[in-house]
């Protein structure tokens, strides 16, 4: 399987993540991508290709112009306002308040976000753009006949809504790719999110559509981020009714239980008969992940990959979460090797 990678991910090197009332060094850090890349090379998974430039066209198929402009200008606006640190949202339009876009950068940061852990920094725009280009380059490989490709995206994307950043995400790389498949003639696309967290952005983007099915397995949002979406009674709306599926699990869930949800998800994907499959691949389901509570082992990721491979669909993997950097390379490449073993 070919991997697409961009060294521009290094432009996203935040110093702060708001966590537990203090600013910590972010979990979503550059060594994550470098460790995965090293393992891809060590295991000779396949060629590693650079990202092509796709411009903003495919991004604007999913995100609003105003949101994209905001992301593009936010760091400059923040520094022009004389702020000393990284750009962290601290005020939101709560219940009963006006949903209008304020002029002031503090107001706009809140308008275009849903969480405060994700600081915007000098290179964030460049890295988020590169991450989208990584996804779109890998998507094009699959659209042009590769059976599968791995988009080594960083920053991740599955929490980003059409006009909201948060959860370390800015552009929804999985959603952009699914939309690109549709725009290139795929009739139906399935997005299966195996990251520990709910893919709230992806769900929201396609919630009223039947041409992109969204499925996510994740920790119970009653207990863990993103808290306000991802429950099992969310099944889609209007024409999208029946085309969203959430599979929620409690703390301590091992692979033996999680794989039942994977089976359910795979059955739904198969019945949908999509022309392409996008896997939002997070390995923060790992037993030693510092911010998550599932108990998958490194060997389990081989079995996950095998199950996905058996779907026998043109498949794009977009990299999402996974924060135990010591194990992230092994775990991600195990999924991809397990997948390849079935082909």
Closest by Cα among 317, 157, 289, 302 to 219:
289
Q: In this complex, which beta carbon is closest to Zn ion, that of residue 26 or of residue 321?
A: 321
**218 with 246: CB under 8 angstroms?**
yes
Q: In this complex, which beta carbon is closest to Mg ion, that of residue 132 or of residue 174?
A: 174
Q: How far apart are CA 319 and CA 334, in angstroms?
A: 13
Question: Shortest approach of Mg ion to residue 322 CB, angstroms?
Answer: 12
Residue 116 touches ligand OKP, criterion: CB under 6 A: no
The residue with its CB nearest to Zn ion is 321
Active site residue 159: yes
Q: Which of 58, 155, 282, 309 binds ligand OKP (CB under 6 A)?
A: 282
Closest by Cα among 7, 17, 343, 336 to 154:
7
SS3 of residue 178 by DSSP: helix
**247 with 218: CB under 8 angstroms?**
yes
Site of tokens 């992940």: 289
Please tell me which residue in 159, 161, 197, 218 is annotated as part of the active site.
Answer: 159
In sign, the C-alpha dihedral spanning 300, 139, 133, 47 is positive
In sign, the C-alpha dihedral spanning 150, 151, 156, 158 is negative
Question: Shortest approach of Mg ion to residue 196 CB, angstroms?
Answer: 6
Question: Shortest approach of ligand OKP to residue 258 CB, angstroms?
Answer: 16
Residue 167 interacts with, from ligand OKP, Zn ion, Mg ion, none (CB under 5-8 Å by kind): ligand OKP
Residue 305 touches ligand OKP, criterion: CB under 6 A: no
Q: Which of positions 213-272 make contact with Mg ion (CB under 5 A)?
A: 216, 218
Q: Which of positions 214-233 make contact with ligand OKP (CB under 6 A)?
A: 225
Q: How far apart are CA 271 and CA 123, in angstroms?
A: 42
The residues that touch ligand OKP, with contacts defined as CB under 6 A, are 19, 117, 156, 159, 167-168, 195, 197, 225, 282, 284, 291, 320-321
The binding site for Mg ion (CB under 5 A) comprises 193, 195, 216, 218
What residues are annotated to the active site? Answer: 159
């Amino acid at each position: 399987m070919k991997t697409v990678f961009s060294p521009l991910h290094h432009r996203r090197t935040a110093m702060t993540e708001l966590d537990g009332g203090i600013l910590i060094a972010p979990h979503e850090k550059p060594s994550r991508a470098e460790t995965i890349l090293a393992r891809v090379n060590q295991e000779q998974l396949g060629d590693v290709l650079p990202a092509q430039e796709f411009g903003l066209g495919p991004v604007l198929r999913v995100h609003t112009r105003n949101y994209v402009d905001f992301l593009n200008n936010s760091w400059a606006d923040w520094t022009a306002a004389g702020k000393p640190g990284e750009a962290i949202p601290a005020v939101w339009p709560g219940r009963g308040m006006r949903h209008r876009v304020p002029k002031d950068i503090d107001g706009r940061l809140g308008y275009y976000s849903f969480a405060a852990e994700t600081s915007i920094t000098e290179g964030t725009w460049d890295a988020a753009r590169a991450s989208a280009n990584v996804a779109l380059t890998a998507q094009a490989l699959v659209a042009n006949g590769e059976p599968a490709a791995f988009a080594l995206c960083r920053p991740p994307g599955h929490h980003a809504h059409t006009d909201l950043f948060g959860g370390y995400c800015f552009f929804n790389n999985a959603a952009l790719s699914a939309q690109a498949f549709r725009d290139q003639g795929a009739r139906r696309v399935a997005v299966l999110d195996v990251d520990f967290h709910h893919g709230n952005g992806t769900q929201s983007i396609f919630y009223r559509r039947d041409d992109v099915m969204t499925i996510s397995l994740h920790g119970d949002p009653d207990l863990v981020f993103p808290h306000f979406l991802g429950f099992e009674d969310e099944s889609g709306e209007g024409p999208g009714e029946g085309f969203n599926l959430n599979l929620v699990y409690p703390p301590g869930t091992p692979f033996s239980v999680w794989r039942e949800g994977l089976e359910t998800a795979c059955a739904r994907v198969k019945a949908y008969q999509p022309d392409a499959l996008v896997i939002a691949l997070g390995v923060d389901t790992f037993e030693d992940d510092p911010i998550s509570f599932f108990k998958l082992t490194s060997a389990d990721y081989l079995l996950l990959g095998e199950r996905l491979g058996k779907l026998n669909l043109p498949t794009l993997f977009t990299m999402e979460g996974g924060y135990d950097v010591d194990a992230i390379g092994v775990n991600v490449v195990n999924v991809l090797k397990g997948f390849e073993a079935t082909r």
